[in-house]
Amino acid sequence: QHGPRDAALPIMRELVERCGESVWLAAFGEEQFHIAYVAEQESQHTLRHRAPIGQTASLVDGACGLAIM
């Protein structure tokens, strides 16, 4: 399988290493005006947010949706 998620994972890992923060890949759902979390690379911080992989969220519910807007 070589979809967008697989292509993004190495880049996401590099971003986590460089910035020390968690990274998420989210897809925009134009019909329902929402995002769906597709992949996550977690930071090593004790306190961190976990993305609900496979679930949808409103565009205004977090940084991923705001970045897409």
* pLDDT per residue as tens, the chain (69 positions): 678 889 999 999 999 999 999 898 988 987 778 888 889 988 888 777 777 788 888 888 877 888 888
Global pTM? 0.75
How many C-beta atoms surround the C-beta of residue 61 within 10 A?
12
Q: What is the pLDDT of residue 1?
A: 62
Tokens of 64: 């991923």
Size of the chain in residues: 69
Contact 25, 12 (CB under 8 A): yes
Looking only at Cα atoms, what is the longest distance across the chain? 36
- Residues 6 or more apart whose CB falls under 8 angstroms from that of 41 comprise 9, 12, 13, 15, 16, 22, 23, 24
